[in-house]
Amino acid sequence: MFGVVPKSIWQKTNPADDNNMCNWAMRCLLIEDGNKLILIDNGMGNKQDAKFFSYYYRNGTETLINSIHRAGFKEEDVTDMFLTHLHFDHCGGGVTKAVEKLELTFKNATYWSNEEHWKWATQPNAREKASFLKENINPIQESGNLKFVNTNEPSPFSQFEIFYASGHTDKMMLPVITYKDRTICFMADLIPSASHIPLPYVMGYDTRPLITMEEKERFLNEAADKNYILFLEHDPVHECCTVHRTERGIKLDKTFSLEEIL
């Protein structure tokens, strides 16, 4: 999760267990706006076999569906399923296994990707092949619910603009949301946790780490200047944070829950 950064450094903020594993979240975001109910990412789901899940040691009591219900909605209320990218821990919950058939979890929703990333995921390179699972991707296209964002045009959503990042995977889409005169940025895997704010802290999963560093630097400078709120998808403790400039570069400023700004 921290690439070339030595464990002796990163374990101070994210201590590993006896299996040399750290705990991480799969935090999604639900946006209600008029007749629109937009879900951003959907975790890894639960349709994989026991062997698959034995690699990841899922824990905790929270589930995506229970969280949606607790917010007062049902699966069929979701109008748009926005996928930042198609790695299994971001899109696996969008397809459900019903008896022996795979079907969309959010049957009434349009599932959003972009053509460049879709091609990247369906014709995967050897390095990322294990992260792009056909059972998470093919049913979306087969359903007829798939739609592509045009990466050369403004966002089709009135609720947010899109920041494209290609260091982690090609054309990952980060929603930049305007809410109550604040800007909330869904960070996906560009900055998965508060511990990943320092530029050298780049995940070993990234296909182009040098590009990730450039994208992080550009984004963090803008975030510090404009006081953006960073929504952290994988941070096990902190939901949101801000950053600020220091003599030693951009650093973590404040951490807080999303509820505190709603």
pLDDT band at 44 (very low <50, low <70, confident <90, very high): very high
In degrees, rounded to 5, the angle at the alpha carbon of residue 119 between the alpha carbons of residues 114 and 125 is 130
Asked whether the beta carbons of 203 and 168 are under 8 A apart, the reply is yes
Amino acid at 95: V
Quote the CA–CA distance of 205 and 97 in Å, as a whole number: 27
Q: Cα–Cα distance between 213 and 104 in angstroms, integer?
A: 35
For residues 22 and 15, give the distance between their C-alpha atoms in angstroms, rounded to a whole number.
6
Which neighbouring-strand residues pair with 174? 163
- Order of strands across the sheet that contains 36-40: 29-33, 36-40, 80-82, 110-114, 146-149
Average predicted confidence (pLDDT) for the chain? 95
pLDDT band per the 50, 70, 90 thresholds, residue 19: confident
Q: Tens of pLDDT along 116-162?
A: 999 999 999 999 999 999 999 999 999 999 999 999 999 999 999 99
pLDDT at 100 (0 to 100): 79
Beta strands in 55-94 (DSSP E): 80-82
List domains and CATH numbers for the chain. Answer: 7-261 (3.60.15.10)
Dihedral pair phi/psi, residue 210, rounded to 5°: -65, -35
pLDDT at 98 over 90: no
Q: Please provide the DSSP assignment of 3-65 as one string.
A: TTS-HHHHTTTS---TTS--------EEEEETTEEEEE-----S-S-HHHHHTT---SS--HH
CA distances, 207 to each of 116, 165, 167, 174, 190 (Å):
15, 12, 6, 17, 12
Whole-angstrom distance, CA of residue 24 vs CA of residue 58: 9
Q: How confident is the model at residue 56 (pLDDT cuts 50, 70, 90)?
A: confident
Position 79 pLDDT exceeds 90: yes
Integer angstrom CA distances of residue 20 from 7, 14, 44, 59, 131: 10, 11, 21, 16, 21
Q: Position of tokens 């994210």?
A: 14
What does the pLDDT read at residue 58? 86
Is the separation of the CB atoms in 209 and 3 below 8 Å? Answer: yes
